[in-house]
């Protein structure tokens, strides 16, 4: 609920340039508030760029788009006109990032789409999600990939010369006692960057791993890393989506619960409201906030962006927020009760798991076997 006022305020303070990337843009209270701020910026001469995903924002009101363009906002759609009936892999290669950069001075990175937190059909509002505001030297590392993606989409859609590819990360910078990195995932040079960053932190964990993830269907390497951490005495806590949004993924991910519980991993399902978070805290020092879920869509197909921070203060605040969510909004899944589920639930769970494995093999590429 704090995100949209902060984002609009930065747009109103912009003097030279705004870049906004979002998977979903809705024509609702939040969407119109941000659109008005973007329009005001463009009308006073700020170069304003908005990039949305062609699937996530496929239902965006054309009148809102035309209003932005009429105000001078440059508006593009990433991979538009993908038929819902196509079974090509390209259908799932989406732009899932949620990034804003203002004047190359301040940036926002996280999991929050441009959609009203209080408008959650079939769910209790508000959505449970995170984004971080960034200033300092890391912004200089976030700005080039955002500009490069805009140039790439422009070149692809308008048949102009494609920008020359550059290796854009990972980027690690220090400021005071903090170290931070901007970590991306794409289908070019950064296919495993986010996953490898997670795995390195998990394998180095000594006391605690706390992961909150809306869509959690990790591959074999990720599962093993978590279970090995638990085996060496690390407390491993998963805060996962408790409410059903996508039936197949919900039940497929629950097929992994038994192995996790047997390994001593804690699982808490968040029920208070719709959960959309993709964050983690390790050893109260390492943390990440971003758009990437831990599932085949995010780790094998989509364009994603996370920020990684090494700082006790930031990690402590994020950890406290997650523990509060666990205490006040989640139900722990107990090992002793998990094996006593009704037969029908177990059948649905394992059928969903089998279908999810099959679809991963069909649509993903390269490392799809990791998820089977």
pLDDT tens digits, one per residue of 254-285? 889 999 999 999 999 999 999 999 999 999 99
Catalytic residue check, 103: yes
Catalytic residue check, 19: no
Q: Grade residue 293 by pLDDT with cuts at 50, 70 and 90.
A: very high
* pLDDT per residue as tens digits for the range 192-247: 999 999 999 999 999 999 999 999 999 999 999 999 999 999 999 999 999 877 78
pLDDT at 361 exceeding the cut of 70? no
Q: Give mean pLDDT, residues 280-308.
A: 95
Catalytic residue check, 59: no
User: What distance in Å separates the CA atoms of residue 330 and residue 118, rounded to the nearest whole number?
Assistant: 19
Catalytic residue among 19, 27, 53, 98: 98
Catalytic residue among 28, 103, 119, 311: 103
Query: For position 156, what pLDDT does the model report?
Result: 87
CATH numbers and ranges of domains, the chain: 3-157 (3.30.870.10), 173-371 (3.30.870.10)
* pLDDT per residue as tens digits for the range 42-91: 999 999 999 999 999 999 999 999 999 999 999 999 999 765 555 555 56
pLDDT at 7 exceeding the cut of 90? yes
* pLDDT per residue as tens digits for the range 149-178: 999 999 988 866 666 645 555 556 666 678
Query: For position 363, what pLDDT does the model report?
Result: 62
Catalytic residue check, 203: no
Catalytic residue check, 147: no
Name every residue whose Cβ is closer than 8 Å to that of residue 325 and which is 6 or more positions away in sequence.
128, 212, 239, 270, 272
Structure tokens at 168: 């854009």
Catalytic residue check, 98: yes
* pLDDT per residue as tens digits for the range 129-142: 999 999 999 999 99
Catalytic residue among 143, 278, 285, 295: 278
HEC assignment per residue over the chain:
CCHHHHHHHHHHHCCCEEEEEECCECCCHHHHHHHHHHHHHHHCCCEEEEEEECCCCCCCCHHHHHHHHHCCCEEEEECCCCCCCCCCHHHHCCECCCEEEECCCEEEEECCCECCCCCCCCCCCCCECCEEEEECCCHHHHHHHHHHHHHHHHHHHHCCCCCCCCCCCCEEEEECCEEEEEEEECCCCCCCHHHHHHHHHHHCCCCEEEEEECCECCCHHHHHHHHHHHHCCCEEEEEEECCCCCHHHHHHHHCCHHHHHHCCCEEEEECCCCECCEEEEECCCEEEEECCCECHHHHHHCEEEEEEEECHHHHHHHHHHHHHHHHHHEEEECHHHHCCCCHHHHHHHHHHHHHHHHHHHHHCCCCHHHHC
Instruction: Report the mean per-residue pLDDT for the chain.
Output: 89
pLDDT at 123 exceeding the cut of 80? no
Residue 209 DSSP one-character state: E
Query: For position 17, what pLDDT does the model report?
Result: 98
Query: For position 340, what pLDDT does the model report?
Result: 79
Catalytic residue among 19, 268, 276, 285: 276
Query: For position 48, what pLDDT does the model report?
Result: 98
Catalytic residue among 27, 186, 283, 295: 283
Query: For position 28, what pLDDT does the model report?
Result: 95
Q: Grade residue 364 by pLDDT with cuts at 50, 70 and 90.
A: low
Catalytic residue among 27, 53, 96, 285: 96
């Amino acid at each position: 609920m704090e995100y949209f006022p902060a984002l609009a305020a930065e747009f109103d303070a912009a003097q030279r340039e705004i870049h906004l990337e979002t998977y979903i843009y809705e024509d609702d209270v939040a969407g119109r508030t941000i659109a008005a701020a973007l329009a005001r910026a463009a009308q006073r001469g700020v170069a304003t760029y908005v990039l949305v995903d062609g699937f996530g924002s496929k239902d965006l009101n054309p009148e809102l788009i035309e209003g932005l363009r009429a105000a001078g906002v440059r508006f593009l759609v990433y991979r538009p006109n993908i038929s819902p009936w196509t079974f090509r892999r390209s259908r799932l290669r989406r732009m899932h990032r949620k990034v804003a950069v203002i004047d190359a001075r301040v940036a926002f990175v996280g999991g929050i789409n441009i959609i009203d937190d209080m408008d959650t059909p079939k769910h209790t509002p508000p959505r449970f999600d995170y984004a971080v505001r960034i200033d300092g030297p890391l912004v200089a590392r976030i700005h080039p990939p955002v500009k490069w993606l805009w140039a790439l989409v422009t070149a692809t859609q308008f048949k102009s010369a494609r920008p020359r590819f550059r290796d854009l990360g990972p980027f690690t910078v220090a400021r005071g006692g903090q170290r931070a990195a901007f970590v991306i995932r794409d289908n070019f040079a950064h296919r495993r960057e986010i996953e490898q960053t997670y795995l390195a932190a998990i394998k180095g964990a000594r006391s605690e791993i706390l992961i909150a993830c809306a869509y959690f269907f990790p591959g074999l390497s990720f599962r093993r890393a978590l279970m090995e951490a638990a085996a060496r005495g690390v407390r491993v806590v998963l805060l996962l989506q408790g409410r059903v949004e996508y039936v197949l993924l919900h039940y497929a991910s629950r097929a992994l619960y038994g192995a996790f519980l047997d390994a001593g991993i804690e699982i808490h399902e968040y029920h208070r409201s719709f959960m959309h978070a993709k964050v983690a805290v390790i050893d109260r020092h390492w943390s990440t906030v971003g758009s990437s879920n831990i599932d085949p869509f995010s780790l094998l197909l989509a364009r994603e962006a996370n920020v990684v921070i090494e700082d006790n203060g930031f990690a402590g605040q994020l950890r406290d927020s997650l523990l509060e969510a666990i205490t006040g909004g989640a139900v722990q899944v107990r090992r002793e009760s998990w094996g006593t589920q009704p037969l029908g639930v177990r059948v649905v769970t394992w059928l969903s798991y089998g279908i999810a494995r099959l679809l991963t093999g069909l649509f993903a590429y390269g490392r799809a076997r990791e998820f089977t």
